[in-house]
Structure 1
Amino acid sequence: MKDKSYLTNIEYINDIFEQYLSDSSVIDSSWRYFFDGFTLNSDNESLTLENVPKEELEDIYNEFKVLNLIDDYRKRGHLFTETNPVRKRRHYSPTLDIENYGLQKEHLTKKFKAASEIGLPVSTLDTIINHLKQTYCRSIGVEYMYIRTPDIIRWFKQKMEPIKNEPQLTITDKKRIYSDLVRATFFEQFLHKKFIGQKRFSLEGVDAIIPTLNFAADYASDKGVEEIVLGMSHRGRLTVLANFIEKPIDELFQEYVGKSYDDESILGDVKYHLGFNNIRVSNNGKKLFVSLLPNPSHLETVAPVALGFAKARINKKHQRNFDKLLPIVIHGDAAIAAQGIVYETAQMSQLEGYGVGGTIHIVLNNQVGFTTNYTEGRSSTYSTDVAKITQSPVFHVNADDPEALVYVTQLAIEFRQTFHRDVYIDILGYRKYGHNEGDEPRFTQPTLYKAIEQHPNVRQLYYEKLVQEFPSIANELKTIEQNYSSKLQQAYDNALQMPIVKVKHFLHEEWEKYRHATQTDFELNINTSVNEDLLRKLAIQLNTLPQDKTFFSKTIKILNERIQLINNNKVDWALAEQLAFATLLNEQHAVRISGQDSERGTFSHRHSALVVEDTDEKYYPLKNISSTQAPFYVYNSLLSEYGVLGFEYGYSLASPNDLTIWEAQFGDFHNVGQVIIDQYLSSAKDKWSLMSGLTLFLPHGYEGQGPEHSSARIERFLILAANDNMILANLTTPANLFHLLRRQVKAPFR
């Protein structure tokens, strides 16, 4: 328990009281609320704490003890919640027992003015504690008091405490929740019966994610969202595809029973890795475009890819308006706690080049990773403790309370739309089977799985709750079950009649004018030429600085040398790149380049952002070509390869008509992001029929800097190059660079 010795220090309290009398705005709100009540009951204008009778002074001390109790419920209440459906919570000390605050049982019936701190009138301590328990210690635990922005702290208090974190749902809402739970549980059970022995990575145990997502979509639409981008790994993915993305169920079943693909170029992948786009209609009648990104088996790899995709859509489709697109990333508890890519992605969240206006992170917390207990899988208290590095709030919610989940998700969306910050929702549930349906979990977690075996699923629990609350709707709920069962059987019968699996290409409308490369394309002569007069004009314009700004003398020298080059009919590497970018921008192709030190360039060659002398202002020549040019983006990335390369790959998926570049500080360093190269760049074409125009800059050379700066590990790319999946180019002249960059955009294939 933190030190509270100041409660008996009359001088300390009197100093704060004098500050209150002088200017109440400078002291903490908890003291201010108390002193408001203290002075309200006194007509003595010269009142000080030193002349207060002993009995009243004791009351003052007790008021502060109650204020500290309230403060600790806000800070530590999440440690004492009822959020775990199948396990007892770990013991945390000290508890929130009143004795730890110098209060006794006789105080429970005593009334305290401190109740005003949580929006209550003068109330008994018992009433205050019940209010706090309902708000912070039931099915919902909240971590937010570490956030350093007072407005956010105040916002959460005002949203949660007046209603005690109790969902405000109509009977129609509750029937919708039940319908979603039926769809989630019946879909999983149908797969289990019809496709015996096949892996599906069941959602069972966290089934309530389906009403959570569906209510989230409707609420987001009400808040002005027009698009949702979703990234998730395999757990529960099929159910999400069927019951949130609304992929036709017969097509999902077809992937189990089909014999071949209608696109012969696809080698295929397991069905729980596939992506999908769709338009769903929200309750308010508005259309909502939803995308689920394809993902490999590498857990969490899809997170930066999804956010890069979202960033591109925000820039291109929504005029950089964060409020129009909502990114959601669904994690597993073991993965979010241990995968380094999670930290890299989190650190992007507030950076200009990578921020997407806040992401809703949802953790499907099974309390186990494959066979590893959660106590063996992390050192942190929670799997979501990474949220604290960006001061993001965290909700911990019992997976057996779908109403609480719906409420929390709506609150999370409102927070995101208000503050454009990340928010995390930790759904405490379980995994009904092993890591997959053929795995035996009792080898390693016998006691846990004994509890799970005896535990009714959330649909059954919610059915009993609704029938008890509304006895007259029992038959209606049974009808919902029967109708969905019939729908599943009909979809299965349809799938049996369709032996050829249909492939709906991801983001088809954006990519319809492009195609996969063929062998002859690598010999194709693509026109990448530009009128010489235009090149000269652009070169001089880009390297002539505005007269009303002062620049570093060495910067001026570099730009003057470029003008001399063009006047002498020559170009160097930097000028060739600059002209390639400029001509593409002039032809309405956006250019984005990001990497470590990309603005200046690792080798001090690019100078795309020129700092105005003695200021922090930057001038970007490539952003000042004309009023009608396409956007130019250049960013110094955080010190990350894996996360940033994944982000830029995702960005390229939504930008087929643009030039998207990831630049390694040294080419050899790409091996830190090897997962993206292996699982996406080299193989996404064969697995998912996915196209990308991402360009990698991998500078290297034998210049005495040792083996880790010398080769760009070209042999790795040579091994991965197959089936016309990539272009590898070791350039020898600036002209090569100019034409190759333009060819990357002008080619009809990707």
Structure 2
Amino acid sequence: MTASVPFRANSDLLDAQYTDWKKDPRSVDATWASFFEGFELGLTELAKRQAKGDASACETLSEKTLNFRMRVTNALLVFRSLGHIAAHVDPLSPSAPESATLSIEGLGFTQEELNEEVKTHMFRNGQPMKLQAMLEELRKIYCGTTGYEFMHIHTPEIQSWLMERIENRPFEPAPANEQQVDALRWLLEAETFERFLHRRYVGQKRFSVEGGESLLVALETILENLPRLGAKEIIMGMAHRGRLSVLANFLRKPLESLFYEFSENYVPNMVAGDGDVKYHLGFETVRKTRSGDEISVMLAPNPSHLEAVDPVVEGMARARQRLLGDTTERKQVIPVLVHGDAAFAGQGIVTEVLNLSQLPGYRTGGTIHLVVNNQIGFTTLPADARSTRYCTDVAKMVDAPIIHVNGDCPLEVAHAAKMAIEFRQTFGRDVVIDIVCYRRYGHNETDEPAFTQPNMARSIAAHPSTAAIYRGVLQQRGVLDEAGANALQKELEDELEDGVKTLAEREATLGNNPYEGSMAEPQPPFTFGSVPTGIEETSLKTLGEKLLQTPETFRLHPTIAKRFLAARKKAIDSGEGIDWAYAESLAFASLLTDGLGVRLSGQDVRRGTFSQRHCVFYDTETRERHIPLNNLAEEQGRFCVYNSLLSEAAVLGFDYGYTLLAPNVLICWEAQFGDFVNGAQVIIDQFIASAESKWQRPSQITLLLPHGYEGQGPEHSSARLERFLQLSAGRNWAVCNFTTPAQYFHALRRQMKRGFRKPLIVMTPKSLLRHPKCVSKLSEMAEGTSFKEIIDDENLMGPAERVTRLILCTGKVYYDLVEFREQNKIKNAAIIRIEQLYPLHEEMLKELMARYPRAQKKWVWCQEEPRNMGAFNYIRNRLSEISGHRVRYAGRERSSSPAAGSKAIHVLEQAKLVEDAFSV
């Protein structure tokens, strides 16, 4: 027999696998290891019998027979690996795609061999059958309306679990009639709802799910299967496609409330802020399953940045798992992310979030990813949108099984969803369901898809809805007659009409804002009132000493022991010289002993980018870890510190999401350098800066962004302070640039001790971490002390009455200014530090300025950043209004780059701007 081209390729694969097995049996898949073991045993037996002169040996174990068996094994592997490429998963295609690889010839068989009997323990436990029957069964399993990808998974146990369920599918009983009718109800709920909106609210955007209604079947199936698998909650994230239908039909948001959001009189149901469009809003509910169990379902609010909500949902899920004490198995809270096909393939944050899935500090026990695969992104077809066969290929990086299913086959979708939740609860890993469907209208209902995809548009227009197709299937099976289907349809239509009537009644009674009385309670207002954050000094000393302790047999690195801990011991004993990192540890320790939690995550945070933190000690022989902050008291909060993956967007999004459901935990995210925070700009813009205004979701997230000009070039100088100040409005957060460790200590404690929650943005230092003058006394953190938004000049070289120049600054440049003033013995200049730039405490500033009546006409703002960056453009008008005069500028000239790349240029620029502060 002459092998076909596909079989020759498969034969080469077999040879390669066999060679690898000969070198190391553990290096190949368990299925192949088992086959090769049997193959060699067969060859050995053949050789023994031939050596004894057994003439029948050549008949029973000939090379031809062994070759046939190898081709049978190869066929099994090919169907399991590639059967999905011939599956009929596209509802717009009349038939399944042809595959030469899976043809009789492609598998290396002849027509005559189809009648050969096969018997292999690798399929059906060695049950004998004709080759043709085996191939037909494999084709039915792997090339039906569901395609499976799982052979890329590296764990044999997981492969075997999936293979068993997939290949035993033909023996499963058909769903009960009640379950089959449920699937029709879920489809009709979505279809009827969308058509109702289309008729009643003509021309309004709703981002219809029509064509992808099976999404509701998947969600409802997951919900119904949760109680028996030990789950209690679902936390969801999704973009706008189908969101209104999910809100109405899955989360059961009251229809009258949803219809009101379409009204011209709609006013956002909130206490402050700007609100958001209806298809971005979140909702929480409790659903009762058919079994009578209650499942909490939360849909996170989201922006139009399609996948940006993904890490936020993961963080929310992790926080709920912590609250429920489910931190080991993580089976009680299930993250569910609904994606579009173009976004799943195209958005880098999807890959970043997948990468979180098995990391100790970020795993949530597995996420169920549902891809509503419209086979188009806005107006772009897959051929222009991705380089991979499937939009889901990126999920293979985390060994996620991927199930491709025809969206017109709701029972197949339901089966995929059931298997997905069982897989997640068994292995604690991500799983992907790719619901291949279509989009009935354009990107939104005002678009015309025929402009760019006329053929697809014609095909969709002629295609009956999923509900119509499935309704016909149920009638053919005798599960539901036409009268029953019509009654179900009318029941759903009546529910929608009742929603409109209820809204009209409320409007008639309550006026144009029928939901005003149900607004959420507001947070207490952001005030400048002093928050008592100081601690009794003896308690500080006790905590400081405990931070120095290690187990008796612990072998600490000598440098850490002799320098790091020795310096801290000297500081705590003397009550002076507390540096930045020690003040941070004291703040953390004090919160922990108050019973609060602390979470710190980011790139290299355990040691600290600048080797300043060392909050985790490692035994030099065993790498055993010791965390002093978790050994402070018998009853204390938990300190969690995680070195993150090399990502900004996913990790910051995760930690932000964590804050939404963990108000009693101080959550800090630290950038390796502040410059890199722009990798997470979407999370900052769409969530941290504006979520309270848009969605009434407060957060206490703290961003630690190393910032300061030390001649390290444009990528290691600026945390882009100007961007945070530009986003500052409505007292949405605090933006700070501290000059002392004590200020940092108080600010961290203030985050958890005041009566409201706001994000805190901190420009943290680099060179100041070890600056001999950037230290604090314990007395500055003791009882009775607190955070100061503005610090007056404490080291004037003459009386305040003689000061004729006020230099205002923030952060590291303060120390350069003080040094220049001392060296040049300048007595007429005062240096004021703005520690909290936003919100600016103008009343405090006015009080301080009153000390310097002769300096009103010479106010100078000094900064290290270029003039078009930093705080100058934000603060100059505010200062001018207070002083009544133009504020002068001392700093670098405008630039498109944050900093010079040359150390020599940096030094010259720095010297000039400091000198200018005393002369402009």
For Structure 1 versus Structure 2, the TM-score category normalised by the shorter chain is over 0.9
Correspondence 1:469-484 to 2 at 5 A: 469-470=477-478, 473-484=481-492
Render the CA deviation track for 1:392-424: whole Å, top value 9, x for unaligned.
110000000010011111111111111111111
Distance change (3 Å), C-alpha of 1:635 and 1:118: same
Residues 139-148 or 614-623, more deviating:
614-623
Amino acid at match of 1:475: A
Separation in 1, partners of 2:170, 2:534: 67
Deviations 1:134-181 (A, max 9, x none): 111011100110111111111111111122486741111101111111
Q: Distance in 2 between matches of 1:40 and 1:467?
A: 58
Equivalent in the alignment of 1:150: 156
1:447 matched to 2:455? The reply is yes
Matched, 1:217 2:230: no
In structure 2, the partner of 1:697 is: 704
**SS of equivalent to 1:593:** strand
Question: After alignment, is 55-64 or 712-721 more displaced?
Answer: 55-64
Question: In the alignment, what sits opposite 2:169?
Answer: 163
Question: Of 80, 84, 88, which residue of structure 2 is paired with 1:74?
Answer: 80
Cα distance in 2 for partners of 1:473, 1:361 equals: 35
| Pair 1:707-2:714 in alignment | yes
Counterparts in 2 of 1:287-436, with a 5 A limit? Answer: 287-320=294-327, 321-436=329-444
Q: Which residue of 2 aligns with 1:203?
A: 209
For residues 671 and 468 of structure 1, the distance between their equivalents in structure 2, rounded to whole angstroms, comes to 58
CA distance in 1, matches of 2:679, 2:271: 33
The answer (yes or no) to whether the contact 2:87–2:96 under 8 Å persists in 1 is no
Q: What amino acid is the match of 2:654? A: F
Pick the aligned partner of 1:719 from 719, 726, 734. Answer: 726
The 5-angstrom pairing of residues 508-519 of structure 1 reads: 515-516=522-523, 518=525
Deviations 1:671-723 (A, max 9, x none): 11111111011111111111111000011111111132223110101110000
Check whether the contact 1:37–1:113 (CA below 8 A) recurs between aligned residues.
no
Output the amino acid matched with 1:111. Answer: E
Task: Please provide the CA RMSD for this pair.
Answer: 2.8
Alignment partners' CA distance in 2, 1:40 and 1:415: 41
Asked if 1:546 is matched to 2:559, the reply is no
1:738: which partner in 2?
745
- Aligned equivalent of 1:614: 621
Q: CA deviation at 1:451?
A: 0.5
CA contact (8 A) 1:308 1:651 kept: yes
Find the partner of 1:648 among 649, 655, 660.
Answer: 655
SS in 1 for 2:123: helix
Q: Distance in 1 between matches of 2:544 and 2:514?
A: 52
Give, as a single letter, the amino acid of the residue that structure 2 aligns with 1:537: T
2:431 counterpart letter in structure 1: V
For structure 1, the residue ranges without an aligned partner over 5 or more in a row are 20-24
Pair 464,119 (structure 1): closer, same or farther in 2 beyond 3 Å? farther
**Which residue of the partner structure matches residue 555 of structure 1?**
560
> Cα gap change, 1:585/1:153 in structure 2, threshold over 3 Å: closer, same or farther?
same
Give 3-state SS (helix, strand or coil) of 1:697's partner: strand
CA distance in 2, matches of 1:114, 1:504: 70
Task: Report the equivalent of 2:810.
Answer: none
- Which whole-Å CA distance do the structure 1 matches of 2:280 and 2:627 have between them? 41
Moved more, 706-715 or 182-191: 706-715
Structure 1 counterpart of 2:753, one-letter code:
K
Q: TM-score, normalised by structure 2?
A: 0.76
Q: Distance in 2 between matches of 1:307 and 1:35?
A: 49
Structure 1 counterpart of 2:513, one-letter code:
I
1:686 to 693, 713, 723: 693
Distance in 1, Cα, partners of 2:517 & 2:184: 31
Aligned residues of 2:376 and 2:382 also touching (Cα < 8 A): yes
1:344-388 Cα shifts (integer Å, max 9, x gaps): 111111100011111111100000000001110000110000111
Q: Distance in 2 between matches of 1:698 and 1:490?
A: 53
Amino acid at match of 1:601: G
Q: 1:709 to 1:33 in 2, by over 3 A?
A: same
Equivalent position to 2:675, from 653, 668, 673? 668
2: CA distance between counterparts of 1:237 and 1:706? 45
* 1:192 pairs with one of 180, 193, 198: 198
Q: Which amino acid aligns with 2:532?
A: N
The CA distance in 1 between the partners of 2:500 and 2:13, in whole Å, is 69
Aligned-partner Cα distance in 2 for 1:272–1:446? 28
Q: Does 1:658 align with 2:665?
A: yes
CA distance in 1, matches of 2:747, 2:488: 58
In structure 2, do the counterparts of structure 1 residues 119 and 204 end up closer, same or farther at CA, with 3 Å as the change threshold? farther
1:450 shift after superposition: 0.6
Aligned to 1:623: 630
> Contact 1:255 / 1:501 at 8 angstroms: preserved in 2?
no
Shift of 1:428: 0.4
- Structure 2: which amino acid aligns with 1:736? Q
Deviates more, 1:170-179 or 1:311-320: 311-320
Which whole-Å CA distance do the structure 1 matches of 2:53 and 2:466 have between them?
A: 58
Q: Secondary structure at 1:100's aligned position in 2?
A: coil
**Counterpart check, 1:500 vs 2:513:** yes
Given that 2:101 and 2:107 are in contact with CA atoms closer than 8 Å, whether structure 1 keeps it comes out as no
Q: Which secondary structure state, in structure 1, belongs to the residue aligned with residue 101 of structure 2? A: coil
Q: Partner residue of 1:601?
A: 608
Distance in 1 of aligned mates of 2:248 and 2:390: 30
In structure 1, the partner of 2:819 is: none
Query: Any idea what SS the aligned residue of 1:267 has?
Result: coil
Q: Is the 8 A contact 1:310 1:356 kept in 2?
A: yes
How far off is 1:117 after superposition?
1.9
Q: Does 1:638 align with 2:645?
A: yes
Aligned-residue sequence identity (percent) comes to: 41
Q: Return the letter of the residue paired with 1:205.
A: G
Q: Is the 8 A contact 2:89 2:96 kept in 1?
A: no
Summarize the Cα distance change of 1:343–1:705 in structure 2 as closer, same or farther, 3 Å threshold: same
SS at match of 1:322: coil
How big is the shift at 1:391?
1.2
Q: TM-score w.r.t. structure 1 length?
A: 0.93
Task: Please report how far the alpha carbon of residue 319 of structure 1 lies from its aligned counterpart in structure 2 after TM superposition.
Answer: 3.2
The structural deviation recorded for 1:122 is 0.6
> Whose radius of gyration is greater, 1 or 2?
2
Note if 1:245 corresponds to 2:258.
Answer: no
Of the two structures, which has the highest relative contact order with CA contacts closer than 8 Å and spacing of 6 or more?
A: 1
Aligned partner letter, 1:158: E
* Matching residue's letter, 1:130: E
Q: Quick one: which of 495, 498, 501 aligns to 1:490?
A: 498
SS of the aligned residue for 2:227 comes to: helix
| Structure 2 Cα separation of the partners of residues 457 and 203 of structure 1 | 12
Q: In structure 2, what is the equivalent of residue 22 of structure 1?
A: none
What SS is found at the alignment partner of 1:690? coil
Distance 2:271 2:646 in 1: 41
Q: What does the per-residue CA deviation read over 1:450-499, in whole Å, with 9 as the maximum and x for residues that have no partner? A: 11000001100110000000166432222111111100000012123333
Question: Aligned equivalents of 1:539 and 1:692: distance in 2?
Answer: 29
